[in-house]
Structure 1
Amino acid sequence: MPLPLYLLAMAVFAMGTSEFMLAGLLPHIASDVDVTVGTAGMLTSGFAIGMIVGAPLVAALARNWPRRSSLLGFILAFAAAHAVGAITTSFPVLFATRVVAALANAGFLAVALTAAATLVPSDKKGRALAVLLSGTTVATIAGVPGGSVLGTLLGWRATFWAVAALCLPAALGILNGIPAGRVTEEAAGGPTLRAELAQLTKARLVLVMLLGALVNAATFASFTFLAPVVTDTAGLDDLWISVVLVLFGAGSFVGVTVAGRLSDQRPGLVIAVGGPLLFIGWPALAVLADKPVALCTLVFVQGALSFALGSTLITRVLYEAAKAPTMAGSYATAALNIGAAVGPLVAATTLNTEAGDLGPLWASGLLVAAALLIAFPLRTMVAADRSTEPLRAGES
C-alpha cells in the first residue's frame, strides 16, 4: 500500500478518536454541563448528523478543488472546532462544535475515501479501505481508551485539547505526502455532478447503503453507552471503561483487517457468516453483561464482527458507486453516519425503560435483525462479487 494512504489513515485516527471518545466521557460531560447522560449522548448524534449532511454537500463543493489543500483545510478546521469545544461551558455551543467538526470530518473522509480508491489497483479497493479505516480502529484501541484515561485523570476537556494537538502532525503529513493536483473529472471527460448524483437511484447502491447504515447504527447504539454498562451493570471501576474500549477497538482492528482481505472477492462469505453471529452477540452481551469476563470477551467479539460486516458493506457502496468517482466516498460516509446518528437516538430511548443500561444492547440486536431481514431475500444483490467495475488506479 502506498505511503500517502497511511498518511490519510493517520488523520482518520485523529478524527476517529474524536468520534468515538465520547463513549468513555459522557458521564463526565453530562455532569460538567448539567445535562442527563441521555442528552449528552446527543453529542454523538449531532456529530453524525453533521457527517451525513456534510459528506455529499462538501464532496460536491470540493470535487474540483486541489486534493491536498482540501484535506489540509478540513483537518485544520476540525482541530479548531475541538479547541473551541475544550473551553466552552455551554452545552449548545459544545453541540455546535461537534456539528462543525463533523462537517470538516465529512469533507475530509469523503475526499480521502475517493483518494484511497485511486491510489491502488482496481481490485484492491477493499484493502485500501481497510488501511484507511485502520485509522479508526487504532483510534478505538489507543486513542479512545487513552482519551478516557485522560478524561478520568484531568477532565474531559483535556481530551478535546489532545485531539486538536493530534491533528497537527497529521496535517504536516498531508502537506508533505499528498500530491497537490486537482480533481478534474469533468475536464478529463468524467461524469458530471448530476450524473454522479443520479447513481443514488440505483437499487443495489441504495440497498447496501441502507444495510451499512443499520449495522453501524447497531454498533453506535451500544458503543456510545458502554460506560454505564461497565461501571453500573458489571460493577467495575471507572478505569475499566478504558480496558473495555481497548478490547472493542482490538476486535474492530481484527475485524476490519480480515474483512479487508475478503471484501473485494468474497463479500457474500463475510455477510453470511458475520451477520447472524453479530445478531446473536448483542443479546448475549445484554444477558451476560454483569459477568466481567463474559463482558470483556463479547465486547471484543462484537467489535470484530461489527467492523468486519460494516466495512464490507461500505466497500460494496464504493463498488456500486463506481460511476460516481468523486462522490462515492461521500455516499459511503453518509451511510456510515446515518447509522451513527440513528443508533444513539434509538439507544437513548431505551435507557428509561425496564432494560435500563442494557437497553442499548437489545436495541443493537434489533437493528442487526432488521438488516438481516432486509438482506436475506435480496442476498444475491448484496453479495454480488464485484458487480460494478471499481475505480482504476489513477482515476479521480
Structure 2
Amino acid sequence: MPLRDLPRAPLALLATCVFFAICTEMLPVGLLPQIAAGLDISASTAGILVSSYAVIVAIMSVPIAAVAERWPRRRVLAVLLTTYAVSNLIFAAAPDDAVAMVARVIGGVAHAGFFAVAIAAAVSLVDPASSGRAIAVVLTGNAIALVFGVPLGTVLGTALGWRWAFVVIAVALSGLAVAVLRVLPPRDPPRTNARIPVMTGIRRPAVIVMSVVITLLALGHFTLYTYVSPLLLHDGITHPDVGAVLFGYGCGGVVGLVAAGWAVSRRPGLALVADIVLMCLSLVLAAVIGSSGGIIAVVALWGVAFGAFPTLTQTVMLRAAGDATDAASSLVNATTNLGIAGGALVGSRLLGVVAVPALGWIGAILVAASFLVYLVGVRRVNL
C-alpha cells in the first residue's frame, strides 16, 4: 500500500498520541533542575522520577497488554490517554516527591499499555504488507517529540513554571482521548485468523530471540546516551551548545526514521542488521573521537541509527510474532524500557571507575552482542 493510500486521519491521530506520550515520559529530563527545586529535593532524587517510570513500563507492559486484549483497542486507548492526563495533573500539583512518584507510577502504567495497543491498532488498520509503513507513520510522533516537543516543553516550563508544562500536556491528552473515540473504528477490524493471547505469543522462540536483541540494543544505546551531556562536555562542547548538538541528534533521528520507513517494506531484516552495525560504529566513534567537531558529527550519525531503531525493531518483532501482534508490541515496549533503566544503571555504576567516553565501548559491546543473537535467530528460529 503506497504511503498516500494509508488511512491518514487515524494514523495521524495515533502519531499525535505518541508525541504527547513521549513528552510525558521525557519532559522531566529537560526540567529536572526546576522540578528538584520545586519539590525541594536533590537532582539525583528527581532523577529517580525518570528511571522509575521506565522500570514500571518494563514490568507492566506484558501484563497490561494481556488484560487489555479483552476490549476494543479504541476504548483501551481512550482509557490509557485519560490515565496519562490524570498522572500529569497529579504531577503538576504534587506538593512533595512522594506524590510526584505516585503520579509517575500512574503515568508509567499508562505508558506500559499505550504503545502495545497503539502499534497493534495501527497495524490492524492496514494490510500486512503495509504494516511497516503504518508503524513508521505512527512513530513520527516519537521523533518529533524528541526533536521539538521536549525542547519546547522545556522552554514553556522554564518561562511559566514546570508545573504548567505538565498541565498543558494533560489538557492535550484529554482532548486526544475524546478524538480517539471519534476517529478510530468502534470495533477492531476482523482478522483472518484467531487473535493469539499475549501470554501465548510471548513464548514463541522467534519472539524471545527478538526480545533479547532489543534489550541488548537498548542497553548498549542508553549506557552512553543517558550520560550524553557529560560526554559532550568532556569532548569540548560548552554548556550553552549542548542543546544545539542534541538538536542535531534529533534531526539525525528524523533521517533514520524516514530511511526505516522506506526500508521496512523491502528488507526489514537486512535494514535492522545495517542499523545495528551503524549504532555499534557510532558508539565506538563516540568513545575515541575526543574532539568537539568530531563529536558533533558522531552524535548526528548516532541519531540516525537510533531514529531507525523503533520502526525496524517493531517491524521485525511483528514479523517474528506472526499473528501475535499484541504480544509483540508489548514486548518491544517492555524490553526497550528495560534497556533505558538498565543502561542508566550500568552507566552510573561504571562512571565511578572509567571516564565517560569509555561507556561507548561498553555500549558497543552490548550492541555487538545483539548482532550475534540476531544472527543466531536467523539461523535457528527463522527470524
User: Shorter-chain TM-score: which interval?
Assistant: 0.7 to 0.9
Report what 2:3 is aligned to: none
Conserved? CA contact 1:113–1:129, under 8 Å: yes
Give the superposition deviation at 1:150.
3.2
Report what 2:338 is aligned to: 338
Match runs of 1:1-396 below 5 Å: 1-2=6-7, 3-30=9-36, 33=39, 37-181=43-187, 190-191=194-195, 193=197, 196-230=198-232, 234-238=236-240, 240-288=241-289, 291=292, 293-356=293-356, 358=357, 360-380=359-379
Give the superposition deviation at 1:142.
0.6
TM-score normalised by L of structure 1: 0.84
Report what 1:393 is aligned to: none
Percent identity at matched positions? 31
Conserved? CA contact 2:115–2:330, under 8 Å: yes
Conserved? CA contact 1:229–1:289, under 8 Å: no
CA-based RMSD: 2.8
Q: When the two structures are aligned, how many residues end up with a matched partner? A: 377
Conserved? CA contact 1:264–1:315, under 8 Å: no
Conserved? CA contact 2:280–2:368, under 8 Å: yes
Residues 136-145 or 91-100, more deviating: 91-100
Measure, in 2, the Cα distance between the counterparts of 1:160 and 1:283: 37
One-letter identity of the residue aligned with 2:27 = M
Conserved? CA contact 2:196–2:323, under 8 Å: no
Structure 1 pair 131–48 and aligned structure 2 pair: CA distance change class (3 A):
same
Measure, in 2, the Cα distance between the counterparts of 1:273 and 1:58: 33
Deviations 1:190-244 (A, max 9, x none): 2463xx4223232221111111122123333333333444456535234x34323
Measure, in 2, the Cα distance between the counterparts of 1:157 and 1:84: 10
List alignment gaps of at least 5 residues for structure 2: 1-5
Give the superposition deviation at 1:27.
4.4
Secondary structure of the corresponding residue to residue 190 of structure 1: coil
Conserved? CA contact 2:212–2:373, under 8 Å: no
Structure 1 pair 228–171 and aligned structure 2 pair: CA distance change class (3 A):
farther
Give the superposition deviation at 1:306.
1.7
Measure, in 2, the Cα distance between the counterparts of 1:233 and 1:29: 28
Measure, in 2, the Cα distance between the counterparts of 1:281 and 1:345: 21
Measure, in 1, the Cα distance between the counterparts of 2:163 and 2:211: 35
Structure 1 pair 88–145 and aligned structure 2 pair: CA distance change class (3 A):
same
Measure, in 2, the Cα distance between the counterparts of 1:362 and 1:40: 28
One-letter identity of the residue aligned with 2:349 = T
Residues 47-56 or 161-170, more deviating: 161-170
